[in-house]
């Protein structure tokens, strides 16, 4: 999956899914147009993944949700 700059290979790290969601929401301008209520369990798993790619997946899901409302 490409997040816009395919010049470098994925860099996998161990990341908390909840923290990646929060970072994605903080970075996106979507928060200025909608209200977001988070209910992320503290026990959510950590994953071995490229955090930039996972954040792009979350951006796409958020964007699709906003467009569908």
DSSP-assigned letters across all residues of 15-66: EEHHHHHHHHHHHSGGGGTS-------TTPPEEEEEHHHHHHHHHHHHHHHH
Q: How many residues does the chain have?
A: 69
Q: Quick one: average pLDDT of 16-22? A: 91
Taking each helix axis as running N to C, give the angle between helix 17-27 and helix 51-68, from 0 to 180 degrees, rounded to the nearest 10.
60
Are the beta carbons of 54 and 14 closer than 8 angstroms? no
Q: Is a pLDDT exceeding 70 seen at residue 11?
A: yes
For the chain, give the mean pLDDT: 83
pTM as predicted:
0.73
**pLDDT tens column, 27-58:** 876 556 777 888 999 888 899 999 999 999 99
Among all chains, which residue has been given the structure tokens 């958020």? 62
């Amino acid at each position: 999956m490409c997040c816009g700059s395919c010049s470098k290979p994925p860099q996998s790290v161990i990341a908390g899914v909840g923290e990646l969601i929060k970072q994605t929401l903080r970075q996106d301008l979507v928060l200025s147009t909608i209200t977001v209520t988070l209910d992320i369990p503290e026990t959510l798993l950590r994953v071995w993944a490229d955090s930039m790619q996972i954040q792009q997946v979350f951006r796409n899901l958020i964007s699709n949700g906003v467009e569908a409302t």
